[in-house]
Structure 1
Amino acid sequence: MAVRRATEGVGRVLLEEVQRWGGMKQTGVGLRHMMEFGSHPTERKLMQSAQFLHKELPIRIARRVVELDDLPFGLSDKHAVLKVRDWYLDSFRDLRSFPDIRDASDELAFTDMIGMIMVRHKDVVPTMALGVQQLKKDLRPKAASSDLEEIQNFLDRFYLSRIGIRMLIGQHVALHDSDAEPGCVGQINSKMSPIHVAQIASEDARAVCMRAYGDAPDVNIYGDPNFTFPYVASHLHLMMFELVKNSLRAVQERYVNSDRDAPPVRIIVADGEEDVTIKISDEGGGIPRSGLSKLFTYLYSTAEAPQYEYHNKVNNGVTMAGYGYGLPISRLYARYFGGDLQIISMEGYGTDAYLHLSRPGDSQEPLP
């Protein structure tokens, strides 16, 4: 485990502490609890939140360090993965060296420190992607899917944990924001309009498509513009941007040399009792049935060249093309609050993506 691969300059005492904390039990938090707790962020509540994070964050981070040190196929030894491991070790060290939080001054200092942790970890997704890309080059051409399942499961756990860590830190930091929009409780918009988020995400995705191809299909959005529900707008934007971007790319590439006008991408928002469901439909030619099982793996992409885009609208994520991470990470964001993402395709015609967002908000974090 972690002690096995101690890199130069990392003390045995620190690694043993990582092992100890990595074996502790995590505590999940639900969307509804975050809203109720943060609705009136008094000094006492901010102290309680900081004290919880002071204990919880080292556990979650330590678990990731332990896993990063024991990956198959030599993935742990890739330079990019070692860099990510060092970021997590640095953050664990910072959290464990921070003294107990006893007053408002301690709480503010702690808030500044965890804000710096978010900055330190902002490039984790593309950096891990580079490590996995390097591994793909080293693996034999037809590595058995069962051989890669362990890496797939690790990456699901790793990125789901990252979503949770950034949600907890971002929520605490945002509770200090005196300029928050009306109806926002930290990062959670209690009256989020999915139509509005879909419009912004579509505009951003069309801008990317315009830059890449010089043109972009239209996006038509259907649903009640007055409908709102509690959700994290940045999470929905990330998922919508990725799905619409994929659809735009498929349609644009299919019709680039056609005499026909490219058909629009259609977004439908449905308000159900259990879920809010958003369907993104395109006529981009669809995906062969043999390819559907690969869509949510991290070792597959339909894009030719690896590239990634940072989006200022998405405050805690990277949306990428070429690494094959957009869809699996979008599904993790959906599942984080009890939803899901499904892809149904008709080869020769187009693809429908169904994004299910859990309505009640009572689900606890799925803790990897």
Structure 2
Amino acid sequence: MASEPVARAVAEEVGRWGSMKQTGVTLRYMMEFGSRPTQRNLLLSAQFLHKELPIRFARRALELDSLPFGLSNKPAILKVRDWYLDSFRDIRYFPEVRSRNDELAFTQMINMVKVRHNNVVPTMALGVQQLKKELGRSRKVPFEFDEIDEFLDRFYMSRIGIRMLIGQHVALHDPKPEPGVIGLINTRLSPIQVAQAACEDARSVCLREYGSAPDINIYGDPNFTFPYVTLHLHLMLFELVKNSLRAVQERYMNSDKDVPPVRIIVADGEEDVTIKVSDEGGGIPRSGLPRIFTYLYSTAKNPPELDRPNTERVTMAGYGFGLPISRLYARYFGGDLQIISMEGYGTDAYLHLSRLGDSEEPLP
């Protein structure tokens, strides 16, 4: 444990940096800047991150300390807050980046910071679950969780930004990047190919869980490409397809009717690329629709207990974090995610991705 004056000095420093203004970047800027990863550009990028990351880490650490309903005191949340403070310290007290060697050492350090934060989402989910259990016991449930939802939206949006900035900088050091790939951005990403990969992953999870999986049909131009972050698109499509497979599987499990396929349609417009994931899994009642984007709601009967180790294994349904986080990924580069449902029939998810790459990060 840090001694009192040291802790106080760090707290003051966090307060000071947390009040500074963040600087947003666009997908297009990241592409143009990263297309020439010269030593000078990598140095400039490291110098930018050296100033920018402490501001972002400090803001989240301060917010983690002042959450409503006693959420800040839950052990899981305290653990996450400590990760943010450690990362703030690591970057803040790293000497100025002036040479190539400084830059390489800095890159190695921020990559370790990124690894430290790998389990933030399940750990935050655990904290929220701890709170939910406690409130369930005390029967204090007729209050609104809006504040917590708003906080988690800001928190996860910020996390996406931090991971994107660090990941992009680290990836620019790849000695042999694939053609058309700039850091984490694939300038010639084929949404059909990403959809195929996400479908394979989601079907294998469904097969493991239920022993069978509905078919998936994908429609769209296989030659169409646009610049986007493969990782982000895969994550969003995997989540949507997984939800559709589960709905169809559970609806037709004990039926002798033909199981209808899940359909994915990719449309390329002038401004947006839109991907629709369509299922006939029975839909969501209209009363349930507002809840699907809150972090405290899951349709799974028994969400996995997060206290147990090995929660990294992806389950078909879990902590109710998949959809709201997918929507944040879509919004991070100016897109959106909409869910339209016909109760008694099925659900359509519309994933809108901005084609222009000009929208700036939404900075919480």
**TM bin (shorter chain):** over 0.9
Following superposition, the deviation at residue 320 of structure 1 comes to 7.3
Unaligned 5+ runs, structure 2: none
TM-score using structure 1 length: 0.94
Give me the TM-score of the superposition, normalised by structure 2: 0.95
Shift of 1:235: 0.1
Cα drift, residue 344 of structure 1: 0.2
Structure 2 CA distance for aligned equivalents of residues 35 and 137 of structure 1: 45
Aligned-residue RMSD, C-alpha? 1.7
Partners in 1 of 2:142 and 2:225 — Cα distance? 46
Decide which of 228, 237, 241 is 1:240's aligned counterpart.
237
Say if 2:206 and 2:316, in contact at 8 Å, map to a contact too.
no
- Which segment drifts farther, 340-349 or 6-15? 6-15
Equivalence for 1:171:
168
Change (3 A) 1:341 1:319: farther
Q: Distance in 2 between matches of 1:212 and 1:7?
A: 49
Asked if 2 retains the 8 angstrom alpha-carbon contact of 1:319 and 1:326, the reply is: no
Structure 2 counterparts to residues 51-130 of structure 1, below 5 A? 51-130=47-126
| 1:305 lines up with 2:302 in the alignment | yes
The 3 A distance-change label for structure 1 pair 264 and 358 is same
After TM superposition, the structure 1 = structure 2 runs for residues 143-182 of structure 1, keeping only pairs within 5 Å, are: 143-144=141-142, 147-182=144-179
Where 1:295 maps in the other structure, the secondary structure is helix
How much has 1:274 moved relative to structure 2? Answer: 1.1
Contact 2:75 2:127 in 1 (8 A): yes
Residue in structure 2 matched with residue 314 of structure 1 by the alignment: none
Distance 2:171 2:238 in 1: 23
Which position in structure 1 is the counterpart of 2:347? 351
Q: What secondary structure, in the 3-state scheme, does the structure 2 residue paired with 1:209 have? A: helix
The aligned counterpart of 2:322 is: 326
Identity of aligned residues (%): 76
Aligned length: 356
SS at match of 2:359: coil
Please identify runs of 4+ aligned residues in structure 1 that moved more than 4 A: 6-10, 308-311
Q: Deviations over 1:99-127 (max 9, x none)?
A: 00000000000000000001100000000
CA distance in 2, matches of 1:252, 1:8: 56
Instruction: For residues 216-259 of structure 1, give each alpha carbon's deviation from its aligned partner in whole angstroms, at most 9, with x where no partner exists.
Output: 00110000000000000000000000000000000000000000
In structure 1, what is the equivalent of residue 35 of structure 2?
Answer: 39
| Change beyond 3 A, Cα 1:287–1:141 | farther
Provide the rounded CA distance (Å) in 2 between the counterparts of 1:116 and 1:160: 20
Check whether the contact 1:27–1:56 (CA below 8 A) recurs between aligned residues. yes
Q: Secondary structure at the match of 2:338?
A: strand
Question: What are structure 1's unaligned runs of at least 5 residues?
Answer: 1-5, 312-317
Cα displacement string for residues 157-206 of structure 1 (whole angstroms, at most 9, x for unaligned residues):
00000000000000000000012211000000000000000000000000
How far off is 1:261 after superposition? 2.2
